Structure 1
Amino acid sequence: MQLSKADVLAKANKACKNTLMETLNIEIIDFGDDFLVAKMPVNSRVYQPDGVLHGGATAALAESVGSFASHIFVDTEAFFVRGIEITANHIKSVKEGFVYAKATFLHKGRTTQLLDIRVTDDQDNLISICKLSTISLPKNK
């Protein structure tokens, strides 16, 4: 039985319970053959002291969406995914609303994956550009 897109999104968001993704209110909202999109509210929970989105929260959003994208595209019965490197260039500040992270694959190898993650705001302004490398490792070792 093939799951609907809504069912897949519900299952993915359920897997985020009791994780950093739940703490930051990150919600997976869309996916396709080579991308995954999540959103996160911008509020005092993710502010730096001067009242704008913290770069660490942005990086956590980017790593979460990128790792989850890699997770979706591997055989999770046999492999687990771990992030091995992330870079983030922050371009614009955000004080309110939501930020959206779209992870797309630059490389989708059997062992390593490289993702480009663009973080935008409600007006589609580019907030941050991130790159994430992940690795798929066998569960049996």
Structure 2
Amino acid sequence: MLNREEMLAACKKMSENTLMQTLEIEYIDAGEDFLTAKMPVNPRVHQPMGLLHGGATVALAESVGSAASLMFIDPEKFEVRGIEISANHLKSKREGMVYATAKIVHRGRSIHLWEIRIVDEKEQLISLCKLTNMVLSRRQR
């Protein structure tokens, strides 16, 4: 299992030249059973009414939840695929920062279930998401 610094460094490296980099998602904290990332709310992630786009919120949730599964696998032997995500958007946001924390609900050998809470700077709940990841044997590329 990776320690906090190794986990954050691995997340930063795997985000290069991906949607996470485009959305400016930054992994900021990790623990035994959680991973936290932040994302700025600005016109890059707005929908036409000037609010945080639900799709950007879900992309943040899936990014942090999928990366969190890496804490429990050997990436040399296994890889992770998100197979289902659901989101309840509870509060709108126009600007500032949102923080997504993925906490493990179920850790099986082949299935990981995560709850991802997305909050703003005042800890107000913006969205509540659930992500199911499948753990697969790594294939040769």
Q: Which category of TM-score, normalised to the shorter sequence, fits these structures?
A: over 0.9
**Paired AA for residue 84 in structure 2:** E
> TM-score, normalised to structure 2's length?
0.94
Alignment-derived partner of residue 73 in structure 2: 74
Alignment-derived partner of residue 41 in structure 2: 42
Alignment-derived partner of residue 114 in structure 1: 113
Root-mean-square deviation (Å):
1.7
**Paired AA for residue 49 in structure 1:** P
Alignment of 1:93 onto 2:92: yes
Residues in 2 aligned to 1:71 and 1:10: alpha-carbon distance in whole angstroms: 12
User: C-alpha displacement at 1:12, in angstroms?
Assistant: 2.0
- Structure 2: runs of 5 or more not aligned: none
Q: Secondary structure at the match of 2:101?
A: strand
Q: Secondary structure at the match of 1:102?
A: strand
Residues in 2 aligned to 1:10 and 1:79: alpha-carbon distance in whole angstroms: 19
User: C-alpha displacement at 1:4, in angstroms?
Assistant: 6.5
Residues in 1 aligned to 2:36 and 2:115: alpha-carbon distance in whole angstroms: 12
Judge conservation of contact 2:2–2:71 (CA < 8 Å) in 1. no
Alignment-derived partner of residue 125 in structure 1: 124
User: C-alpha displacement at 1:3, in angstroms?
Assistant: 7.6
Q: Secondary structure at the match of 1:18?
A: coil
Q: Deviation above 2 Å: which 4+ runs of structure 1? A: 2-8
Alignment-derived partner of residue 23 in structure 1: 22
> TM-score, normalised to structure 1's length?
0.94
Number of aligned residue pairs: 140
